[in-house]
Structure 1
């Protein structure tokens, strides 16, 4: 605790960064149980428009049997459409414009969902699921890109554990808010709660701008207050041409694959247990998220900072790989429901506490275009490509039983570990960014 207070006293932007990530994840995790309940719902009309349900029935299908596959495919297609729009926004507008714009668009969308859920409009589930997935990826990606503008590599290794812990507290508070309020005020009003937290994010962006400018001046970079320029497809070209970015993309792809396999199995269990009861399903997912974040904050407060400072990013990237491999080996041997939940908590907790901070420190040592364009391409397009392909693969494998699903997961886990090793090896070729020294103003 003394070290934490010392870090806060040394670095004023750390206060605002922690508040920013806390508010962002609180706002998201208020909504995540709602999203997961929609994905696990057996009420097709709550998830899909009536026209979709009727069309499927007319062709001899129950669209509810393909809920996750349709949701992931829709998310992928929307992400594919939004990627060049995001690239254009980053290329043509300065940071002071495009960062607030992203969050204002999300706030406007939440106001729309308040109306949809309040009036129980059929098809609200698919729209909300796709939107919340886009919100999570773009909002969190923009956050960490901005943090790489504010902090250098030295300070990132010292502070990212604290920032991540602040986010984890928010990720714990969000499900608690949902669990308390979902049955009392209804799902629609949770949208208004999330809007309040996103407004705090806008304030934090404004407060952190001076430190981002100062660091860019010390590095001799083009200021983020001017448009970055370049092509809207620059992210794709950078990932294609740079070995380190390709390795990061591969790490992201297979990391999502193992996570999606687990998520789909969990959704099947919830659908069987709760049926069309969205409120009970929402509370169940809130409890799972709470357990994950309790585990993650413990690791962030007592392990992450020391690992990053003493050993660099290697252990932070490799440990989640070992956790995933061990978890899938256990599930392949005994695929019972409680073990699925335990593995979900362990693997996602390791990803939040170690894998994510470890990857983000790498971006403090790369050019700004890598941080905003290549990183966004990896965190959105690559992520959702893995999501949709794994969702359909899981549908094909599920007919053979859970053990086959988890056996395939073992193979994906091995590739995930290999990708982490490649990233650890290639990031050593990066030079250390010039330190701005004391970050006080």
Structure 2
């Protein structure tokens, strides 16, 4: 009967938290709406990456320019998309830094989401009229959206909750996103063949509009938390230099360790993603309904990932964070991913690639990410919004770019060559996780 008692106690705690922490409800809904909207659009992005039609992905002039020089752009599709994404991040990071430095939170958070909604409406038109090159622009935009929107969400959560509260509640808040991650692919897989790709973007825009409502409702708790920390100018602009986040990463050992953890974590994910993409491109080659087929396949993968994440978040994340802190949540996924790459090196079967992909992303969302986000509750506001944003965007997409091209080189030696290199990357990821565990232990229990 002990497991039943433990489960009952866990849900009693959740009911008590809902009564004691009204912002928990809005935080849960915010992440739910955000990831539902994202997972409606994500399978469309993945289908673009796996497309065998370069004219849909890239502008005709770009395709012709490379063809005139003997380069088939379709052979470098993923690498070109990741390069464009990284360059976009470099251009947008100063813009984000300027927003954070010059405008209070009540202004720049809604502005960020209004811009995202406007972009989705623009892409709806582009897909509706079959605009050439729409796929590449959309792929890059979704990558930018994912990192900025999710990074801002967790920065906002760190404004609202203390470190002890984060350890108790972040698992439940993250579960809101996981439920959204289950609903989003389900909506897409059921409706994309009936409504078409373009109309799915309108569905995403509707969920982002609901995020705006949650931001406005959570504002008072964020301001109160800043006052509790002794920051009387709680909702004023932070000021400082636009590129302050990158300077802080270079100077702070903890932020630097978090940046390395992000870089190598992206590395293992990118190597797996590219192998999976090659499988899907081969699977859908010559199929007139390739876009819909690929979108449905990626929706299925996303659903499996989010079911695993939901179970772990509900039954493990909170307990591990409260009893042991961040160490097991960072180290266990790293060691599991290292083991997964060793298995793939020995037997690089397509089904095993999918299984390790589920393991990698599920452990990131259910364990590693909540652990990293609790660390940010113990640092200052500039680190939460500026350094964290730089890690979650520039460092993340820099890793994407580096490992996308590295994959192209390793693929010459076949899947076994890719996964042999992946073992080294997973080893560096594990070492970075250990470094973060050591550095965060030097922080006070709650700096504020």
Work out whether 1:256 is the aligned partner of 2:266: yes
Looking at structure 1, the residues matched to 405 and 233 of structure 2 have their Cα atoms a distance apart, in angstroms, of: 43
Cross-structure match for 2:400: 387
Work out whether 1:294 is the aligned partner of 2:294: no
State which drifts further: 299-308 or 52-61.
52-61
Q: Secondary structure at the match of 1:432?
A: coil
- Could you tell me how far 1:122 is from its partner in structure 2? 1.0
Looking at structure 1, the residues matched to 233 and 49 of structure 2 have their Cα atoms a distance apart, in angstroms, of: 42
- Could you tell me how far 1:322 is from its partner in structure 2? 1.1
State which drifts further: 223-232 or 155-164.
223-232
Gaps of 5+ in 1: 436-441
Cross-structure match for 1:7: 17
Instruction: Work out the number of aligned pairs and report it.
Output: 435
Q: Secondary structure at the match of 1:42?
A: coil
Are the counterparts in 2 of residues 252 and 378 from structure 1 also a CA contact under 8 Å?
yes
Looking at structure 2, the residues matched to 369 and 61 of structure 1 have their Cα atoms a distance apart, in angstroms, of: 45
Cross-structure match for 1:210: 220
Looking at structure 1, the residues matched to 118 and 34 of structure 2 have their Cα atoms a distance apart, in angstroms, of: 16
Q: Secondary structure at the match of 2:263?
A: helix
Q: 1:64 aligns with which of 74, 78, 84?
A: 74
**Equivalent runs, 1:193-208 vs 2, <5 Å:** 193-208=203-218
Q: TM-score by structure 1 length? A: 0.98
Looking at structure 2, the residues matched to 306 and 216 of structure 1 have their Cα atoms a distance apart, in angstroms, of: 27
Cross-structure match for 1:360: 373
Q: 1:337 aligns with which of 328, 350, 354?
A: 350
Looking at structure 2, the residues matched to 243 and 24 of structure 1 have their Cα atoms a distance apart, in angstroms, of: 31
Cross-structure match for 1:413: 426
Looking at structure 1, the residues matched to 407 and 446 of structure 2 have their Cα atoms a distance apart, in angstroms, of: 42
Looking at structure 2, the residues matched to 389 and 166 of structure 1 have their Cα atoms a distance apart, in angstroms, of: 32
Are the counterparts in 1 of residues 379 and 447 from structure 2 also a CA contact under 8 Å?
no
State which drifts further: 218-227 or 204-213.
218-227
Are the counterparts in 2 of residues 257 and 390 from structure 1 also a CA contact under 8 Å?
yes
Are the counterparts in 1 of residues 58 and 134 from structure 2 also a CA contact under 8 Å?
yes
**Equivalent runs, 1:314-325 vs 2, <5 Å:** 314-325=327-338
Looking at structure 1, the residues matched to 220 and 39 of structure 2 have their Cα atoms a distance apart, in angstroms, of: 29
Work out whether 1:126 is the aligned partner of 2:136: yes
Looking at structure 1, the residues matched to 231 and 394 of structure 2 have their Cα atoms a distance apart, in angstroms, of: 27
- Could you tell me how far 1:52 is from its partner in structure 2? 1.4
Looking at structure 2, the residues matched to 224 and 402 of structure 1 have their Cα atoms a distance apart, in angstroms, of: 52
Looking at structure 2, the residues matched to 432 and 214 of structure 1 have their Cα atoms a distance apart, in angstroms, of: 20
Looking at structure 2, the residues matched to 131 and 320 of structure 1 have their Cα atoms a distance apart, in angstroms, of: 29
Q: TM-score by structure 2 length? A: 0.96
Looking at structure 1, the residues matched to 61 and 246 of structure 2 have their Cα atoms a distance apart, in angstroms, of: 36
Cross-structure match for 1:180: 190
- Listed one character per residue, the Cα deviations across residues 39-63 of structure 1 (whole Å, up to 9, x for unaligned) are 0000111111111122222112211
Q: Secondary structure at the match of 1:232?
A: coil
Cross-structure match for 2:410: 397
Q: Secondary structure at the match of 2:413?
A: coil
Looking at structure 1, the residues matched to 54 and 421 of structure 2 have their Cα atoms a distance apart, in angstroms, of: 30
- Could you tell me how far 1:222 is from its partner in structure 2? 4.8
RMSD over aligned CA atoms reads 0.9
- Listed one character per residue, the Cα deviations across residues 325-346 of structure 1 (whole Å, up to 9, x for unaligned) are 0110010000010000000011
Are the counterparts in 2 of residues 213 and 223 from structure 1 also a CA contact under 8 Å?
no
Q: Secondary structure at the match of 1:399?
A: helix
Looking at structure 2, the residues matched to 291 and 224 of structure 1 have their Cα atoms a distance apart, in angstroms, of: 41
Q: Secondary structure at the match of 1:221?
A: coil
**Equivalent runs, 1:99-118 vs 2, <5 Å:** 99-118=109-128
Looking at structure 2, the residues matched to 223 and 130 of structure 1 have their Cα atoms a distance apart, in angstroms, of: 36
Q: Secondary structure at the match of 2:235?
A: coil
Are the counterparts in 1 of residues 227 and 234 from structure 2 also a CA contact under 8 Å?
no
Are the counterparts in 2 of residues 152 and 434 from structure 1 also a CA contact under 8 Å?
no
Cross-structure match for 2:100: 90
Work out whether 1:284 is the aligned partner of 2:294: no
Cross-structure match for 2:161: 151
Q: 1:35 aligns with which of 39, 45, 48?
A: 45
Work out whether 1:274 is the aligned partner of 2:284: yes
Q: 1:350 aligns with which of 363, 366, 371?
A: 363
